[in-house]
Structure 1
Amino acid sequence: MRYLKFLSIVFIIFFGMAMSITVQADQIQLNAALSTPVMLADKKQTVFLRVGLTGLHLKKQNVAPINVVLVIDKSGSMGGEKIRRAKDAAIMAVERLRKDDIISVVTYDHQANILLPATKATDQNRIITAINKLRAGGQTALYDGVEKAAKEVRKFLDRKRVNRIVLVSDGLANVGPSTPKELGALGASLSEENIAVTTIGLGLGYNEDLMSQLAEKSDGNHAFAENATDLVRFFDHEFGDIFSVVAQEVNVTIIGVEGVRPIRVLGRDAEIQDQQVSVKLNQLYGGQEKYILLELEVPPTKANIERIIAGVAVVYRNLGADASERLSSMVSATFTNSPQLVEEKTNAVVMTAAVEQLAVEKNELAVKRRDEGKINEARKILIDNAKFLAEEAAKYESKSLEELSEKNKIDAQNLDERRWNRQRKMMRGEQYRYKKQQNY
């Protein structure tokens, strides 16, 4: 109710302003825009609302302290180059830490062990010495490893810190809870504590559904590292994100106005209740944009009328000021009898985002059909998807849609048994990146 009351005030203040609006606070820029800000009159129709949140660049002295746990699989399959590269990546991360940052290291094989309890990074040599003691051997108690990591994070859990678990694994979870649903539930519970989990799957032996669910439900990152040599690069990207967090506990509320009905949010989990939509983002990064894409149903409206379609309220924790802050906006549309004017005023940025998310859904369906053994059906879905993307790329002059079209063509060529394990991991990784607007 407090959001409804808050947005009612917003509508009174901003009524009659532009069809889309950009507002900015200390750490975040908010841009809310409709796919068709000019709509056909006297017709019930759907429209996409894109709510973009961009983190502003931080000055080095304003970077928040971090509280990170490295969780490293040391089961038998991690032997040789894999464990060596994992240690190299962990050491690179340690060398980037500052004295007030907190780090711990958890390892797991048939059970989880705390290699380095949560501690301030004041003695990097001691931490590096501990990491260098890692040896591989045993099975894969992944769930236990994440639970132990969560306990280490909680020792210094602080709203003023960036709280993160970074997990590396090359194998299937075969000790303890081991399904995507169970690991997703664990990720969701950690998200409630404002702890994000990033998962890096190494090689071709891990369960990509399990790893991506754990990351998705906690709003972390997910990556497929085909070769051990990729680990340092992915750790570098990951810690680049960690050291650029500008806001946490980001809660976005969108309310449809006067009969405008929310239908669904594409690519992200959301709670929809009547005309109100709620979405939580764990963290926002400086210099990066995350967006929420909402499909709305708009009732018939007479021509030559401008009406508010939805209001947006964002509440987040500003890490620099250690305080909660608000941003708000609203979007309106005008109505016309001219289809040509509707087309001319279509927002290409919003439509590109919508096409991407719809294409990802088709790509996910192709994976499902391939898992069912329906290779020809999966291939047709991908070929049709590539054609759809190419047409939309030309329509909206979008390089990103062209690239996604080419990726779907490649996906369609790699569905045979010999290549499917690798291809599936690549497809899951790409799906995750597009849905979450991941930077790497």
Structure 2
Amino acid sequence: MNRYRLPQIKRLLIALCLSSTLAPLAHAKQIDLQVNLATPVMEADRTHNAFIKISLEAIKQEQPQERIPANIAIVLDKSGSMQGDKLYHAKKAAIMAINRLGTNDIVSVVSYDSRVNVVVPATKASDTARIARSIQQIEASGNTALFAGVSKGSQELRKFLDMNKVNRVILLSDGLANVGPSTPNELGKLGLSLAKEGISVTTIGLGLGYNEDLMTQLAGFSDGNHAFVENAEDLARIFQYEFGDVLSVVAQGVEIHITCKNGVRPLRVLGREADISGNMVSTRMNQLYSEQEKFIILEVEVPAQEDRSNLELVDVDIRYNDLFNKQNEQLSSNVVANFTRSQKKIDDAVDTQTYEAAAEQVANEFNREAVEKRDQGDIQGAQSILQKSADYLDNLGQTLSSPKLIEQKEEALQDASELDDEQEWSKKRKELKERQFKRAKQQSY
């Protein structure tokens, strides 16, 4: 062989090896699915209620500069109550956030009082200085046509609506919706309809005058984020967090289907709205973010089994839109329980992390019930529910040796002690609703 051809052959072999090694990575799935049982080993010969955690975690993006383009509508309340510092900081935060966008991103800005005004029609975020000048010209006056503001922001998104983009309305309001549809149910339905189009809505409540039920319903049904901002000076920080989420989306349109098997009966899904029909459970998540875990907790009834037997409890099927590869992907998994009469084997097998996540969601349900009781004027009843939550967290925290659950027990007791302060109830209620929302949705900020 000609000795001068050896380097060429070596280079060819190296190239072939590299291509065969790297080729699969081009189609690597963006999502890791884990299905875990809090009590993977159960006592034989009796029925159990058990918690199953279905978690999805998006992989880290090694080249964040190649992120998914965003299509964002910022919807700003400019009603009379926003006069002064509130509107000043809102405009400043919006401009700072827009400066994070790239030339492939789409942005629109809508303001609303009694009427709705498109400040910046949907456009590429290339001339941010011009966009900033338009935002600076917004002035406060009038009432709060919140529903119309969100609807108009959605219309701007639809001009460039693309399932391979991140489509997000970011709503800021400091007051009660008093023009047009204004109930939490009506705004929740709007959020649900937008979610079906691939649009999510993040709601930012400023001050103590907004309706937290309305804002959490709108965000929750569309699978956006929610934040309570007491002081306008904090808006810039919240907008930065929100845009951090928007700019790290890797998958959306996530459909979760669970089939309970072998006589296992689904009881409830904690943390998210879900449909339960017979042995079938279905729910969805609008978007998943890089390096963030999102999960649901499914509580099931497991029929009694013999000693040393095992039982497959559920099949889990996930479908989602992979925004990087621009194709639909599917994942599946299942979970199996083992049965024994040995208490030691049962105790040793407990999945502490999964049990903690389930306990947190159970406590979150207690917290919701307590707020409902407090709204009815039954302060003692609300405190009793929070005491029940604290006892539950304490008992499980001691059993699992979990500092996290013990800390949440103290939080529940602190909440109970603050329910009877009428002057502080408006602020406390907003804090509780925000915390409930964030824990249910595993919000990153």
**Equivalent-residue separation in structure 2 for 1:227 and 1:89 (angstroms):** 13
Report SS of the residue matched to 1:341: helix
Deviations along 1:182-216, one digit per CA (max 9) or x if unpaired, are: 00000000000010000000000000000000000
Deviations along 1:84-118, one digit per CA (max 9) or x if unpaired, are: 10011100111000001000001100011111100
**Equivalent-residue separation in structure 2 for 1:212 and 1:205 (angstroms):** 14
Deviations along 1:21-56, one digit per CA (max 9) or x if unpaired, are: xxx952111110111111122222221110110111
Change beyond 3 A, Cα 1:25–1:44: farther
| Shift of residue 366, structure 1, vs aligned partner | 1.0
**Equivalent-residue separation in structure 2 for 1:244 and 1:64 (angstroms):** 8
Maintained 8 Å contact 1:180/1:211: yes
Cross-structure match for 2:33? 30
**Equivalent-residue separation in structure 2 for 1:251 and 1:358 (angstroms):** 23
The AA in structure 2 aligned to 1:425 is K
Change beyond 3 A, Cα 1:29–1:410: same
Q: TM (normalized to structure 2)?
A: 0.92
Cross-structure match for 1:417? 422
Change beyond 3 A, Cα 1:298–1:387: closer
Aligned partner (choices 245, 255, 261) of residue 251 of structure 1: 255
Unaligned runs of 5+ in 2: 1-26
Aligned partner (choices 106, 119, 125) of residue 123 of structure 2: 119
Cross-structure match for 2:5? none
| Shift of residue 347, structure 1, vs aligned partner | 1.1
**Equivalent-residue separation in structure 2 for 1:144 and 1:330 (angstroms):** 44
**Equivalent-residue separation in structure 1 for 2:433 and 2:300 (angstroms):** 28
**Equivalent-residue separation in structure 1 for 2:177 and 2:404 (angstroms):** 35
Q: TM (normalized to structure 1)?
A: 0.93
Cross-structure match for 2:109? 105
Maintained 8 Å contact 2:262/2:311: no
Q: How many residues align?
A: 417
Maintained 8 Å contact 2:49/2:302: yes
Cross-structure match for 2:207? 203
1:427 aligns with 2:414: no
Runs of 4+ in 1 over 6 A off after TM superposition: none
**Equivalent-residue separation in structure 2 for 1:257 and 1:423 (angstroms):** 43
1:83 aligns with 2:49: no
Aligned partner (choices 354, 358, 364) of residue 360 of structure 1: 364
**Equivalent-residue separation in structure 1 for 2:300 and 2:370 (angstroms):** 26
**Equivalent-residue separation in structure 2 for 1:190 and 1:127 (angstroms):** 25
**Equivalent-residue separation in structure 2 for 1:400 and 1:97 (angstroms):** 37
1:439 aligns with 2:444: yes
1:282 aligns with 2:286: yes
Aligned partner (choices 223, 228, 244) of residue 219 of structure 1: 223
The AA in structure 2 aligned to 1:57 is K
**Equivalent-residue separation in structure 2 for 1:431 and 1:326 (angstroms):** 30
Deviations along 1:293-328, one digit per CA (max 9) or x if unpaired, are: 101111222111122111111111110000001111
Maintained 8 Å contact 2:78/2:113: yes
Report SS of the residue matched to 1:297: strand
**Equivalent-residue separation in structure 2 for 1:219 and 1:117 (angstroms):** 24
**Equivalent-residue separation in structure 1 for 2:84 and 2:404 (angstroms):** 38
The AA in structure 2 aligned to 1:417 is E
**Equivalent-residue separation in structure 1 for 2:407 and 2:103 (angstroms):** 42
Aligned partner (choices 373, 387, 390) of residue 386 of structure 1: 390
**Equivalent-residue separation in structure 1 for 2:373 and 2:280 (angstroms):** 34
**Equivalent-residue separation in structure 1 for 2:212 and 2:428 (angstroms):** 11
Aligned partner (choices 344, 347, 350) of residue 346 of structure 1: 350
Greater Rg by CA: 2
Which has the higher mean CA deviation after the structures are superposed, 387-396 or 31-40?
387-396
Maintained 8 Å contact 2:274/2:282: yes
Cross-structure match for 2:14? none
| Shift of residue 342, structure 1, vs aligned partner | 1.5
The AA in structure 1 aligned to 2:318 is V
**Equivalent-residue separation in structure 2 for 1:54 and 1:256 (angstroms):** 23
Report SS of the residue matched to 1:367: helix
Report SS of the residue matched to 1:268: coil
Report SS of the residue matched to 2:95: helix
Identity %: 49
Change beyond 3 A, Cα 1:383–1:44: closer
Report SS of the residue matched to 1:277: strand
1:292 aligns with 2:288: no
1:70 aligns with 2:74: yes
Maintained 8 Å contact 1:50/1:350: yes
Cross-structure match for 2:16? none
Which has the higher mean CA deviation after the structures are superposed, 43-52 or 384-393?
384-393
Aligned pairs (5 A) from 1:53-202 = 53-58=56-61, 59-202=63-206
1:46 aligns with 2:37: no
| Shift of residue 405, structure 1, vs aligned partner | 2.2
Unaligned runs of 5+ in 1: 1-23
1:326 aligns with 2:330: yes
Maintained 8 Å contact 1:25/1:327: no
**Equivalent-residue separation in structure 2 for 1:301 and 1:391 (angstroms):** 27
Report SS of the residue matched to 1:370: helix
Which has the higher mean CA deviation after the structures are superposed, 196-205 or 304-313?
304-313
**Equivalent-residue separation in structure 2 for 1:279 and 1:89 (angstroms):** 34
| Shift of residue 397, structure 1, vs aligned partner | 3.1
Which has the higher mean CA deviation after the structures are superposed, 390-399 or 45-54?
390-399
